[in-house]
Structure 1
Amino acid sequence: MGKATGFMDFKRQKGKEQPPLQRLKDFGEYTSRLEDEELSKQGARCMDCGTPFCHMGIEIRGMAAGCPIQNVIPEWNDLVYKGQWKEALQRLQMTNNFPEFTGRVCPAPCEGSCTLAISDPAVAIKSIERSIIDKGFENGWITARIPKTRSNYRVAVVGSGPAGLAAADQLNQQGHRVTVLERADRAGGLLMYGIPNMKLDKYIVKRRVDLLAEEGITFLLNTEVGKDITHAQLKETYDAIILCVGSTVQRVLHMEGSDAQGVIPAMDYLNGTTQSLLDGVTAPINTKNKHIIVIGGGDTGADCVATALRQGAKSVHQFGKHPALPKKRAADQPWPADPQVYKLDYAYEEAAAKFGSDPREYCIQTTKIVASSNGKLKELHTIQMDKITNDEGYIYFEEVPGTEKVWPVDFVFVAIGFDGVEQSIGEHFGVKVLNNRLYATMKNYETNTAGVFAAGDARRGQSLIVWAIREGREVAAQVHGFLEEKNIKALA
């Protein structure tokens, strides 16, 4: 702890951001890092707690508390304060395979568990993390790590999202021969197509994938397992298979008019927009001068809001079924759990700057969707709801009479969550699927099919990128042990 009074001497500063209206002009990243002098001050705010809750990485009542991959945050905070950037990078890479991703798009549960956050704004951990890794690339400190020896074992990783890439990285560094199979035309999974460019520039993803390839990992793109290559073929070629295929089945609306032309799953909209930007072609869905409604109050919905704003939408609203979050930590979310509090995130800040108000509508229920005679979306009908908790603690919603409203709309983007893995993939591998439509695994991440493992969202459900990285690291450790045991049996 370089400066004992740093948390009292300096105020929190996060990374630089372009003004909301300015960043709506393109899809470029809207954030950048602070100058080194300011970052040193931010590092000095770390209290070097006796028990650093920021990196304990557990869940409290279903909420993340601390960093899931146990980043040694106080150590690299102190090194940044002292200007020892290369040493800070070494500490960061001990636990995090891809800080350039988490430093940009992770919601930073570590900051919610920061001891300083009990009474003051948390240490700017996320901004410091991103600055360390960006500086590492800029100064040429990050180079290909080619394993000195190779085992005779081959591992196939199906899916190139954060879990798949982390598993591949770990196993490759342990000397195994790793191949990543991806059905899309570019590697990265949700990092490439699920997260908009303004939050994570695709150059950042490609740079890491290229580095992994240079380190010895083989990427087979445009390769769909079960169609272009079978389980039998994989089993014949590889000693272990890891399914990191994500939880990609989008929930759909079941109501009158939900089949109207213009009602679109959110990820179809986001994926298509990103694909068009990368390919330099016209977006398949253009919201310019259109009325947009996003159903679903989460991050995917927020990304739809931000994307529609950049395309020049005439109006944008986002519907959520729950009340607005409180401005302060609620009693049922005690520190060090990551608090669920009201925030004006990037998309909502942009909408407020353009239209004069937060685009979110709370406690609102869509009752029906109406199309014109030609089948195209015309309007959406809603009613306000009251969230009620009865004496037994049971929560339910009641309609509020007289609050009916009709909204003109051209596109409805449905962002109400995901329903697990695609059924065909599990069936092809003979993997058991639980009632929650996720893969069943044992403690060692192995499925009921021998030699087939599963990790990431396919195993735990939709979650944070940092949890996916943790899953990838953990399944890699289990597969490494599986291969070592296989080697021992072969030598016996």
Structure 2
Amino acid sequence: MADPKGFLKVRTRHELAERPVAERLRDWNDVHAESGLQPWTTEQAARCMDCGTPFCMTACPLGNIIPEFNDLVRQGKWDDAYDRLSVTNNFPEVTGRICPALCESSCVLSIHQPATMIKLDEQTIIDQAWKLGLVRPKPPQRLTDMTVAVVGSGPAGLACAQQLTRAGHTVVVYERADAIGGLMRYGIPNFKLEKSLLDQRIQQMESEGTRFHTGVEIGRDIGWDELRSRYDAVVVAIGSTVPRKVDLPGGGLEGIHYAMDYLPDPTRELMGKAPLHNIDARGKDVVIIGGGDTGSDCLGTALRQGARSVTVLQIRPCEPTERPDDQPWPTYARLYQKTTSMAEGGTYEYSVDSLEFLDRDQALRSSGLDEGDPRARVDRVMAPAGFEEDGQGHISGVRIVKVEEDDLHHLVPVEGTERVLPADLVLISVGFAHPETGTLTDQTQVNLDQRGNVARNDGYATNVDGLFSCGDAGRGQSLVVWAIAEGRSCAASVDRYLTGATELPAPIVSSQRPMALPIAR
């Protein structure tokens, strides 16, 4: 740290400028007007206190060497900064954009000032590295005779595959979708994570020797047991893709969809591919159940499609703007953060529970108005745009109620607060329950844990010899940064299984949990 008083001289954060809302709602490009190196980048990096005990590193499951790369950013030493960052993180272009920055919540400076801009420094380092040609393939110096199949190409699967390829093993990644990237490809909108970032990283991995097969569903196209017989080891990195159910009356009405059926199509269309579900919010009143990051992604997508209105329902109260007493530093604090999509429009309803999905007639009766009454808003409640004349069988409204905590901290309805929201399209975004394991358990007899995830020991090994599991498939729904850490750690265990020893890093064990995990929403 060249200037030990840097954090005293610069007390404020300088965020990337965003494009005007009216402009960015007309396209699917990154919402930011700036990227990469800025005039204030080095000044912001100088705010890092170079703490004797860097709690930011403790909070990061990857163990990123944050004070060191911050200082290298301050000095503009991009080659060294990239080397330091890539020691611990395979995909900083992803974490630098979509990670919730657990590290910043544990920054010592954040006790009395805004935290150091760790996440943006990470993004700047990798953007500069690509720009300056510093990101090069790292093929192994020698090849082993060992082969590994990695099933799933999300962040865990790709991190595991890259590490094992660099260790000299022949690695094949199988992906059931038509493009590599998992949730990063089709689950995160382009305006948050442009897909060119994935494409250039996949090209690097191919140059290193990793092989990719898309459009192959293991368990159907190739049996799990057959796959295990073909390879010396198999890694299950299929993610957690079974959505949590919202079991309400009227759930069978048309126009009710899960978020992960809705979000992929705009990305597919940008890639020149046909949509899979043809769910379009144009001209519709949209209700999104679930106020987390995925709900925010649905909001931004619906606004870009031209929704008439968008309402996001969150069952929990609005997060506080300052760290509450029960979430002390350096744990992760759930604070209110306005996402870029929230700044674009729509309405958030907090402390609200959904009670029932209503068709046209039910919604009309709930309004207490006669069909001929102009206040019935024929264009909204009675006959949603684009639906058939009678409207039967389609969602037309959602009955909701305000909730509050009782003495036992249970959420209970507030009497007299029931009302109906007009809704032509309902998107359910309340998280995922567990991975899809039907064919896996049938064909391998692998054990599952109590939550339906793939059971494994601290070394990511399942009860089936040579079968490993990493990422959300074993951990359950989590964050991209934890998935990358699991993929790296799993690779070390697989390497040790195949060769008897390993030099690959293992930042976490599978049972490790964060100091405080954001509540799944």
Scaled to the shorter chain, the TM-score interval is over 0.9
Letter in 2 for 1:93: S
The match for 2:395 is: 377
1:362 corresponds to which residue?
350
Matches within 5 A, 1:210-289: 210-279=203-272, 281=274, 284-289=278-283
Amino acid paired to 2:449: L
2:47 is aligned to: 45
Q: Deviations over 1:184-224 (max 9, x none)?
A: 10001001011110010011111111110111001011111
Evaluate the alpha carbon distance shift between residue 25 and residue 84 of structure 1 in structure 2; reply closer, same or farther with a 3 A threshold.
same
Distance 1:426 1:5 in 2: 56
1:406 to 410, 420, 441: 420
Give yes or no for the alignment of 1:338 onto 2:326: no
Alpha-carbon deviation of 1:280? Answer: 5.3
1:253, distance to aligned residue in structure 2 (A): 1.6
* Distance of 2:304 and 2:501 partners within structure 1: 53
Runs of 4+ more than 3 Å apart = 34-37, 280-283
2:3 partner SS: coil
Cα shift at 1:387: 1.6
**Equivalents in 2 of 1:304, 1:151: separation in Å?**
45
The separation in 1 between residues aligned to 2:206 and 2:36, in whole angstroms, is 31
Q: Of residues 401, 410, 413 in structure 2, which corresponds to 1:396?
A: 410
The count of corresponding residues between Structure 1 and Structure 2 is 468
Kindly state the Cα deviation for residue 272 of structure 1 after the two structures are TM-superposed: 2.3
Provide the C-alpha distance between the structure 2 equivalents of 1:119 and 1:236, rounded to a whole number of angstroms: 57
**Alignment counterpart, residue 309 of structure 1, candidates 276, 284, 303:** 303
Alpha-carbon deviation of 1:120? 0.5
Q: Deviations over 1:206-251 (max 9, x none)?
A: 1111110111001011111011111232222210000000000011
Q: Is the 8 A contact 1:15 1:34 kept in 2?
A: no
2-structure distance, mates of 1:140, 1:81: 20
Q: What residue identity is the alignment partner of 2:104?
A: E
What is the 5 A alignment of 1:165-176? Answer: 165-176=158-169
Partners in 2 of 1:379 and 1:296 — Cα distance? 16
1:457 is matched with which residue: 468, 472, 477?
472
Q: Secondary structure at the match of 1:8?
A: helix
Contact 2:255 2:395 in 1 (8 A): yes
Q: How far is 1:17 from its partner? A: 1.7
Counterpart of 2:15, as a letter, is: K
The answer to whether the Cα contact below 8 Å between 1:55 and 1:110 also exists between their aligned partners in 2 is yes
State the AA in 2 paired with 1:68.
P
Quick one: distance in 1 between partners of 2:273 and 2:232? 40
In 2, Cα distance between the equivalents of 1:383 and 1:324?
Answer: 16
Counterpart CA distance in 2 for 1:242 and 1:68 is 20
Identity %, equivalent residues: 41
| 1:226 aligned counterpart, secondary structure | coil
Compute the TM-score of the two structures, normalised by the length of structure 2.
0.88
Shift of 1:36: 4.1
SS across alignment from 2:244:
coil
Describe the shift of the 1:280–1:453 C-alpha distance in structure 2 as closer, same or farther (beyond 3 A): closer
Q: 1:29 offset after TM fit, Å?
A: 0.9
Secondary structure at 1:377 match in 2? coil
User: Deviation per CA, 1:74-119, whole angstroms, max 9, x where unpaired?
Assistant: 0011011111111101100010001011011111111111111001
What is the one-letter code of the residue matched to 1:396? H
Query: For residues 252 and 371 of structure 1, what CA distance do their matches in structure 2 show?
Result: 20
Q: Does 1:329 align with 2:344?
A: no
Partner Cα distance (2:474, 2:206) in 1: 26
Does the 8 Å contact 2:403/2:411 carry over to 1? Answer: yes
Alignment correspondent of 2:495: 480
Q: TM-score, normalised by structure 1?
A: 0.93
RMSD value over aligned CA atoms?
Answer: 1.5
Q: What residue ranges of structure 1 are gaps of 5+ in the alignment?
A: 57-65, 488-492
Question: Cα distance 1:115–1:255, how it changes in 2: closer, same or farther (>3 A)?
Answer: same
Shift of 1:19: 2.5
Match of 2:199 among 203, 206, 210: 206
* SS of match in other structure, 1:37: coil
